[in-house]
């Protein structure tokens, strides 16, 4: 595992970044998930759910060149607000907390 053999300065800086930035934001997200998920959902499951949500958000930033090439001019519609709305809708539907969008005619015919 790479973190175990990291130089002490890097490990220290990483720990500080997690303490000062990542953990407070993770606590906000897991707190929201605690309200949304069924009672008795373990902290482990809340973290996994939170990581999935963050992964969706980070995808747009880390894969920007690929997403731009795939979408072409439509990429201009990818705004923070659009991503937030999509990730929220998608995640709530995946958690069974909101009905998924109605199927399009194409999806209803079984075509991809």
- Dihedral pair phi/psi, residue 23, rounded to 5°: -60, -50
Say how many C-beta atoms besides its own lie within 10 A of residue 49's C-beta.
19
Query: 24-54: per-residue pLDDT in tens?
Result: 999 999 999 999 999 999 999 999 999 999 9
- State the Cα–Cα distance between residues 88 and 97, nearest whole angstrom: 11
User: What's the predicted TM-score (pTM) here?
Assistant: 0.73
Higher-pLDDT residue of 109 and 57 is 57
In sign, the C-alpha dihedral spanning 80, 86, 89, 93 is negative
Mapped onto helix, strand or coil, the DSSP state of residue 38 is coil
The pLDDT, as a whole number, for residue 10 is 83
* Helices and strands, number each (H, E), in the chain: 6, 0
């Amino acid at each position: 595992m790479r973190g175990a053999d990291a130089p002490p300065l890097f490990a220290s800086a990483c720990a500080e970044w997690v303490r000062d930035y990542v953990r407070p934001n993770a606590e906000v997200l897991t707190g929201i998930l605690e309200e949304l998920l069924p009672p008795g959902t373990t902290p482990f499951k809340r973290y996994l759910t939170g990581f999935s949500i963050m992964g969706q958000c980070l995808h747009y930033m880390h894969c920007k060149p690929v997403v731009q090439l795939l979408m072409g001019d439509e990429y201009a519609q990818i705004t923070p607000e659009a991503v937030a709305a999509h990730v929220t809708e998608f995640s709530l539907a995946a958690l069974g907390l909101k009905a998924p969008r109605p199927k399009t005619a194409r999806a209803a015919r079984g075509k991809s």
